[in-house]
Amino acid sequence: MKSVVFIFSAAILLASPGAAAQSDAFAEELEAGTADTSASATNDPWEGFNRKMFAVNNVLDEAIVVPAAKVYRATTHKKQRKGIRNLLANARAPFTFVNDILQGEFKRAGDTASRFVVNTTIGFGGMGDPAARMGIEPHTEDFGQTLAVWGLDSGPYLYLPFFGPSTLRDGFGMATETVADPVFWLRTDAASYTRYARTGATALSVREPLLEPLADIKENSLDYYASVRSFYLQSRRREIANGQTVFDDLPDIGGFDDFDELDELLEEDLAEDDLADVLSEDDQ
């Protein structure tokens, strides 16, 4: 669960016919009971490409990012890391503000603007978060979320080298924000330095708290790629809903009514097996 919470908070980084002798009616019942018609059904037509990129990223992660994140952890204090997280979040505030406006969330845009002013001034340029203590809670928005609010479907899952899990829509959102960033267009040494420093600091700051949770997931998962995909897509839906409990598009766990019939059928099936066992014993 720790992993789940962290993945959520840091989703930006990552992300034949049966042999059973079953009657057609039984097969249909099972299908009704287990078919996934929910919006959470996985849309991953580019799985082959995505898995290759996932493998590439994992090599880079193990070779460079994880060792660097461990050094970062060893050489800084928890409070310093918190300060850096705040600083990076504060630097993102203008993007969140624009996206709040584009989504028509004026109250949240006001929160973002107030937080930016308060934290940049009395929060020492954003290292501290006095705004939260005043009761103005942080939130983030990005252009991918805005496109979702405008009604654009996520499109296929897309695992990007360096950037991690995404979708076609959210990848497009990321690209749009990259070119909308003034620092991207400035070709001075200072701008380049800012760009590299910010990218590096963001990578370390996001990866460091994920060291244990991701290692846990990797160890316990039968398919690490599928686990990361599911965690990313699930947490992303909640971000788009601005943290509200999302429940309409959850799959039924066993289609409930259908599932009761399925269960009865399975029980009957089980009873037949038992009968078969008994019969075979009689034969012996």
Partner 1 sequence: MFSLKNFRSICVGAFAAAALSSPTVALADEPAESYIGAILVEAEPVLNAETEDAVLDGIADLVDKHVDMRRVALFTLGQYARQMTAEQRDEYLPLFKQYATIVYQNALSNYSGQRLEVTGSIDRSERDIIVNSKLADPNPGDPFADAVIQWRVYRSKDGDMAVVDAGADNVWLAIEQRSQFTSVIANNGGGATGIDALIAQMRKQVGG
Distance in angstroms (rounded) separating the CA atoms of residues 6 and 98: 26
One of 4, 56, 122, 197 touching partner 1 (CB under 8 A):
4
Q: Is 134 helix (H, G, I), strand (E, B) or coil?
A: coil
Distance in angstroms (rounded) separating the CA atoms of residues 12 and 16: 37
Q: Is 179 in the site for partner 1 (CB under 8 A)?
A: no
Q: Is 77 helix (H, G, I), strand (E, B) or coil?
A: coil
Cβ distance 29 to 268 under 8 Å?
no
Q: What's the closest the beta carbon of residue 182 comes to partner 1, in angstroms?
A: 33
| Per-residue exposure over 183-212, b if at least 16 CB sit within 10 Å of its own CB, e if not | eeeeeeeeeeeeeeebeebbbbbbbbbbbe
Q: Is 58 in the site for partner 1 (CB under 8 A)?
A: no
Q: Is 231 in the site for partner 1 (CB under 8 A)?
A: yes
Which has the closest alpha carbon to 137: 125, 149, 119, 120?
119
One of 196, 257, 268, 275 touching partner 1 (CB under 8 A):
257
Distance in angstroms (rounded) separating the CA atoms of residues 170 and 172: 5
Question: 160 or 226: whose CB is closer to partner 1?
Answer: 226
One of 130, 155, 156, 251 touching partner 1 (CB under 8 A):
251
Q: Is 167 helix (H, G, I), strand (E, B) or coil?
A: strand
Q: Is 55 in the site for partner 1 (CB under 8 A)?
A: no
Q: What's the closest the beta carbon of residue 72 comes to partner 1, in angstroms?
A: 18
Q: Is 17 in the site for partner 1 (CB under 8 A)?
A: yes
One of 8, 46, 95, 172 touching partner 1 (CB under 8 A):
8
Phi, psi of 165 (to 5 degrees): -65, 145
Partners of 160 in beta bridges: 164
Q: What's the closest the beta carbon of residue 129 comes to partner 1, in angstroms?
A: 13
Question: 132 or 174: whose CB is closer to partner 1?
Answer: 132
One of 36, 62, 153, 268 touching partner 1 (CB under 8 A):
36
Instruction: Work out the number of other CB atoms within 10 angstroms of the CB of residue 231.
Output: 22
**Residue 151 to residues 80, 155, 240: CA-CA distances in angstroms?**
40, 12, 11
Which has the closest alpha carbon to 32: 248, 259, 249?
259
Q: What's the closest the beta carbon of residue 48 comes to partner 1, in angstroms?
A: 10
Q: DSSP assignment of 141-159, as one string? A: --HHHHHHHTT----SEEE
Question: 37 or 188: whose CB is closer to partner 1?
Answer: 37
Q: Is 247 in the site for partner 1 (CB under 8 A)?
A: yes
One of 13, 209, 210, 214 touching partner 1 (CB under 8 A):
209
Instruction: Identify which range of 27-35, 67-75, 120-128, 176-184 contacts partner 1 by CB under 8 A.
Output: 27-35
Instruction: Identify which range of 126-134, 144-152, 169-177, 261-269 contacts partner 1 by CB under 8 A.
Output: 261-269
One of 34, 58, 120, 194 touching partner 1 (CB under 8 A):
34
Binding site for partner 1 (CB under 8 A): 1-2, 4-8, 16-20, 22, 27, 30-31, 33-36, 40, 42, 209, 216, 220-223, 225-227, 229-231, 234-235, 237-238, 243, 245-248, 250-254, 256-257, 259-260, 262-263, 266, 269-270, 273
